[in-house]
Amino acid sequence: MVGSEAVPFVKTGGLADVLGGLPPALARAGHDVAVVIPKYRKVDLFGAERVFHELPVWLGGHLHTVAVDRVTDRGVQFLFVNCPWAFDREGIYNVGNNDYYDNHIRFALFSRAAIEVARRVFRPNVIHAHDWQASLTAPYLKTSHSSDPTFFGVKTVLTIHNLGYQGQFALGLGHELGLDPAMLGPGGPLEFHGSLNFLKSGIVFADAISTVSKAYAGEIQTAEFGFGLDGLLRSRADVLSGILNGVDYSEWNPEHDRYIPRNYSADALEGKKECKRSLLGEFGLPEENMERPLIGIVSRFASQKGFDLVAEVARGLVDLGASLAVLGSGDPGYENMFRGLAAWRPDRVGLRIGYDNPLSHRIEAGADMFLMPSRYEPCGLNQIYSLRYGTIPIVRATGGLDDTIKEGTGFKFWSYAGHDLYECIRVAVQAYEDREGWTEMMVRAMREDFSWDVSAREYGALYDSLVKPAAGGVAA
Ligand code: ADP
Ligand code: GLC
């Protein structure tokens, strides 16, 4: 696996949960798995073993030297590309709102380094790259390394976690990537409307492409969700599939969650009340909110996530009797929108701007409902975590949200419109009044199972289809 973040080492979003959860599940299923990720400043490598001191990596005519450090965790080798000038920086992709000017070099180098790791440290049958940061692995293998016997028969998988992030850069920087200049020409694999596009080249060259829910695999082939790549994706539909993300229930389970004030389960729900009381206190919301539905939000503040709809319905939602506990950061416009709501009704809207993993667990446990009105959502993880915490999801029926939430475990609305979200919340708040029915719904939600082992079997079958000849067939 090659990707830019993985729990427990470094995380900005769901990709890290996936690279922390899927590889150990594959290992449990008998696969031999290594995950290659960059060694950022934030990554604490205490206890790591240096497995390669000076690994040469060529990029665009320059020779770079990186070290490789290994941490073995839950049966998986996490191999860190240690290259201080590229990754020993304050941020991962950006500082403040500014992306690093050399991200194209940083992640091209990372992809080249992953290929060298595959040559010298860990020899795989399949290289499985995630998102644009690792997308160049397939184009490198299929072009500059195509006559390298080390990689004969090695297959590539590209998983798209979010088509909204493609890794686009000025076309003039293309010569720094060490790829055939013909690939940069108009309509070439790396060119997209006059820019470089890392993800596009991965889509062109990968042997198989997956995305993180079945619904999203269909959606990205339409103009509405395709971000301009829908035509290309349609042309690769024969190798494109959707495999739903799983959940690491050793991290996300109210029965033994170490971050929440009291543990609880579907058979013993009393602890959840205590979690709610404590969460209200933490957000400075008055005790009287115990009798009202408390809606949780934990999110990156990005336009993908549907917060303009929340702005539209917030006042109505408070009039319905609900209160909000919000944790997130990102787009300053949404941060200010939430600041405005919290200033308007400090008794009903609690807000923390920032990134806080323990608090995200306490919101999952303490809220009654969890809101994800996304414009689009490739998979979405918090709604699945919410199910296990008996925190009923209110979601827009798109992508993975549609695939994971059904009538009886959550509430869905379809059109991306404030009025529809409001109606959906109104129905949920009304359902909350029927305490017995609500408890039944919580228990149903808590009994749903989205463990990684199910998804790992699907990935295993995908790998097998690539590396094992079909019955009676001949290996390529
Ligand atoms: P995305 O990857 O698009 O951000 P997902 O729902 O797949 O969305 O995953 C988001 C992950 O990041 C979840 O594990 C969520 O708990 C976590 N997360 C998002 N924002 C925050 C935050 N402000 N503080 C702590 N965790 C957060
Ligand atoms: C992306 C998507 C999210 C998905 C996550 C992990 O960040 O936005 O929907 O759950 O990747 O696959």
What is the block-wise mean pLDDT of the chain (476 residues), using blocks of 10 residues? 97 96 98 98 93 96 96 97 98 93 98 98 98 98 94 97 98 94 94 97 98 98 98 98 97 98 97 98 97 97 97 96 97 97 98 97 98 98 98 98 97 98 98 97 98 97 89 49
**Whole-number Å distance between alpha carbons of 458 and 446:** 23
Q: How far is the CA of 221 from the centre of ligand 1 (A)?
A: 25
> Within the chain, what is the greatest distance between any pair of CA atoms?
70
Distance, in Å, from the CA atom of 122 to the CA atom of 124, rounded to the nearest integer, reads: 6
How far is Cα 402 from Cα 360, in angstroms, rounded to an integer? 22
Cβ atoms of 385 and 361 closer than 8 Å: no
**Ligand 1 binding pocket includes 382 (Cβ within 6 Å):** yes
Q: 372: helix, coil or strand?
A: strand
Report yes or no: 300 and 330 within 8 Å, Cβ to Cβ: yes
Tokens of 155: 């297959």
Q: Of 451, 445, 452, which Cα lies nearest the Cα of 389?
A: 445
- Note the pTM of the prediction, 2 decimals: 0.96
| Ligand nearest to C-alpha 356 | 1
Cα 15 to middle of ligand 1, angstroms: 9
- As given in the structure block, the two tokens for residue 248 are 């690491």
357 Cα–ligand 2 center, Å: 17
In whole angstroms, give the CA distance from residue 428 to residue 412: 10
CA 355 from centre of chain: 15
For ligand 1, atom 9, the nearest C-alpha belongs to: 14
- For ligand 2, whether the C-beta of 16 sits within 6 Å is no
Distance (angstroms) between ligand 2 centre and the Cα of 314 equals: 25
Per-residue buried b or exposed e for 122-137, using 16+ beta carbons within 10 Å of the residue's own CB? bebebbbbbbbbbbbb
- B/e letters for 150-183, b = 16+ CB within 10 Å, e = fewer, are ebeebbbbbbbbbbebbbbbebebbebbbbeeeb
How far lies 292's CA from each of 316, 319, 343, 433, in Å?
14, 11, 20, 9
DSSP E strands in 178-258: the ranges are: 191-192, 195-197, 208-211, 240-242
Predicted confidence at residue 476, as pLDDT, reads 43
Which ligand 2 atom sits closest to the C-alpha of 377?
9
Which ligand is in closest contact with the Cα of 15? 2
**Pseudo-torsion of CA 179, 185, 190, 194, nearest 10°?**
130
User: How high is the pLDDT of residue 468?
Assistant: 83
Q: Whose alpha carbon is nearest atom 7 of ligand 2? A: 14
- Ligand 2: which of 379, 395, 404, 405 to mutate, judged by most atoms within 8 Å of the beta carbon? 379
Alpha-carbon distance 306 to 426, whole Å? 18
Total Cβ atoms within 10 A of residue 472: 5
Helix (H, G, I), strand (E, B) or coil at 209: strand
Distances (CA, A) of 20 to 27, 77, 94: 12, 11, 22
85: helix, coil or strand? helix
Cα 107 → chain centroid:
18
Q: Is 13 in the pocket of ligand 1 (CB under 6 A)?
A: yes
The single residue listed with the structure tokens 């042309």 is: 235
Residue ranges of the alpha helices (H) in 191-331? 198-205, 214-219, 230-235, 270-282, 307-319
* Radius of gyration of the chain, Cα coordinates, nearest whole angstrom: 23
How remote is the CA of residue 159 from the centroid of ligand 1, in Å?
Answer: 18
* Burial (CB count <10 Å: 0-12, 13-18, 19+), residue 186: exposed
> Ligand 1 in contact with 259 (CB < 6 A)?
no
Q: Residue 297 — φ and ψ, nearest 5°?
A: -135, 130
Give the start-end residues of each E strand in 2-118. 34-38, 49-59, 62-73, 76-82, 94-95, 98-99
Domains of the chain by start residue, with CATH: 14-246+454-471 (3.40.50.2000), 270-448 (3.40.50.2000)
Which pLDDT score is estimated for 472? 52
Q: Which residue of 7, 299, 327 sits with most ligand 1 atoms within 8 Å of its CB, as the best mutation to test the pocket?
A: 299
Q: Which residues pair with 6 in a beta bridge?
A: 10
Q: What token pair was written down for 13?
A: 């979003």
Determine contact, residues 159/225, Cβ cutoff 8 Å. no
Q: Please report the pLDDT score of residue 209 as a whole number.
A: 98
pLDDT one-digit tens code per residue, 255-279: 999 999 999 999 999 999 999 999 9
DSSP state of 6: B
- Decide: 227 and 195 in contact? Cβ < 8 Å: no
CB distance 203 to 197 below 8 Å = no
Helix axes 435-446, 418-433, angle to 10 degrees: 110
